[in-house]
């Protein structure tokens, strides 16, 4: 612990003095006046492998993210029984997204003082609605997705009226869904038909959200829809991807980038990592249509992070390299103009054991370690969000 405490001081000092001058200067330089930094920086809470209180797991995690000072949070409105298991009494199934969003645990978290909730959500269906469209997408399925997303968006607008909140509904890492596998090789590239069907699926979800907004009229509660991509480097090779073959034909409000395919370069060379991320964001912007609500700056970082625990899986990991990636991603994305930058995540979701893990049995994607100690990532974000005047 003493060694890591020393590294915390060294790296936070390096950040404050070398990279940004001071945290307060970084805030003033990198954000538009209309959106405070606390509203742009967020953290995901889902499927963590440990907990610390007797509170329901969804709200335990949300409270820790609020403690850090972030007003944006990313959650899963999908399989809550699996994603938020500790101290929780979830039904075995939900009949609708509205029923799920109305559960007391979600109602409690939606009433907390967050400004923006990014929600990974899929229609409730007998099939896996995440990718049921790949081999064909019927008019009935299209209509069902429109209906469920319209109902959910309407529910959010009506229920949280007067609370000045934003909800963003998105998918998860669309390139894996489009491919139907986790293989990046060219021979595993998706079919043209799969891309066409995904366009229809994304636009069905968007249509549902738009219908709800039209029906609601002017409201202080904003509901938007986003499509997430995760293989931009593959797209830049000219291959079939969500970026190249879905986004240009979609009409989303926002586009999310799960940016692991480029940010790793910053582990050893922050300048190289920054350039790679900027090039990827520029390429995404060239393919993603502008939106009425966000204009041309409608691309956000929906996931980013880097392992900090050395293991056979991550032999070159370290807390210092992880902090390099985090700092570079945040600074580059803020400077580029991303409206949101969402860190993965609060509690590590990748454990090598079935029982409660120790610090060395997870990969190190966390703000808080299994033993309760705060990680370097926490210190970094805290310095940004609470600058000394």
Which CATH number is 355's domain given? Answer: 3.20.20.80
Q: Decide if 8 is inside a domain.
A: no
Q: What is the pLDDT of residue 134?
A: 87
Please say if the pLDDT value at position 15 is more than 50: no
> Domain of 102?
25-385
Asked whether residue 146 is assigned to any structural domain, the reply reads yes
Residue 8, pLDDT score: 44
Report yes or no on 11 lying in a domain.
no
Section 325-339 average pLDDT:
98
Given a cut of 60, whether residue 347 has pLDDT beyond it is yes
This prediction has a pTM of 0.92
**Res 34 pLDDT > 70:** no
How many domains are contained in the chain? 1
- Residue 271, pLDDT score: 98
- Say if residue 375's pLDDT is above 90: yes
pLDDT of residue 243 exceeding 50 = yes
Mean pLDDT of the 316-344 span: 97
Per-residue pLDDT, 2 = 39
* Predicted pLDDT of residue 285: 97
Could you give the CA distance from residue 74 to residue 234 in angstroms, rounded to a whole number?
26
Say what the pLDDT of residue 388 is: 85
Q: Where are the alpha helices (DSSP H) in the chain?
A: 2-14, 23-30, 37-40, 57-68, 80-83, 97-101, 104-110, 139-159, 174-179, 192-216, 232-235, 242-245, 260-263, 270-287, 319-336, 376-385
Taking residues 190-203, report their average pLDDT: 97
Instruction: Give the pLDDT band of residue 127 (cuts 50, 70, 90).
Output: confident
The answer to whether position 7 is within a domain reads no
Q: 26 pLDDT exceeds 70?
A: no
pLDDT over 60 (residue 119): yes
Terminal Cα distance for the chain, rounded? 29
The DSSP symbol for 308 reads -
């Amino acid at each position: 612990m003493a060694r890591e405490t020393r590294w915390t001081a060294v790296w936070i000092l390096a950040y404050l003095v070398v990279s940004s001058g001071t945290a307060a200067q970084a805030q003033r330089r990198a954000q538009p006046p209309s959106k405070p930094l606390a509203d742009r920086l967020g953290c995901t809470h889902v499927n963590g492998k440990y907990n610390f209180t007797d509170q329901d797991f969804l709200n335990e995690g949300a409270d820790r993210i609020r403690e850090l000072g972030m007003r944006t949070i990313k959650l899963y409105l999908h399989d809550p029984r699996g994603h938020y298991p500790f101290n929780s009494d979830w039904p075995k199934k939900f009949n609708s997204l509205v029923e799920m969003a109305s559960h007391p645990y979600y109602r409690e978290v939606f009433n907390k003082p967050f400004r923006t909730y990014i929600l990974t959500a899929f229609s409730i269906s007998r099939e896996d609605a995440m990718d049921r469209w790949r081999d064909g997408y019927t008019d009935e399925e299209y209509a069902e997705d429109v209906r469920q997303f319209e109902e959910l968006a309407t529910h959010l607008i009506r229920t949280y009226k007067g609370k000045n909140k934003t909800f963003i509904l998105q998918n998860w890492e669309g390139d894996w869904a489009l491919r139907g596998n986790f293989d990046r090789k060219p021979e595993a590239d998706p079919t043209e038909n799969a891309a066409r069907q995904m366009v229809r699926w994304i636009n069905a979800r968007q249509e549902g959200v738009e219908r709800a907004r039209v029906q609601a009229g002017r409201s202080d509660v904003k509901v938007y829809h986003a499509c997430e991509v995760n293989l931009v480097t593959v797209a830049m090779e000219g291959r079939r991807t969500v970026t190249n073959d879905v986004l240009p034909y979609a009409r989303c409000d926002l586009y999310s980038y799960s940016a692991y395919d480029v940010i790793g370069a910053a582990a050893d060379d922050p300048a190289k990592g920054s350039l790679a991320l900027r090039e990827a964001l520029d390429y995404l912007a060239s393919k993603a249509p502008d939106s009425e609500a966000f204009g041309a700056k409608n691309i956000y970082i929906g996931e980013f992070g880097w392992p900090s625990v050395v293991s056979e899986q991550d032999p070159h990991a370290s807390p210092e390299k992880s902090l390099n990636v985090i700092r570079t991603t945040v600074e580059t994305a803020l400077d580029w103009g991303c409206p949101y930058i969402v860190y993965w995540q609060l509690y590590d979701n990748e454990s090598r054991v079935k029982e409660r893990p120790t610090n060395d049995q997870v990969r190190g994607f966390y703000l808080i370690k299994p033993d309760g100690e705060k990680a370097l990532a926490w210190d970094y974000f805290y310095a940004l969000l609470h600058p000394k005047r």
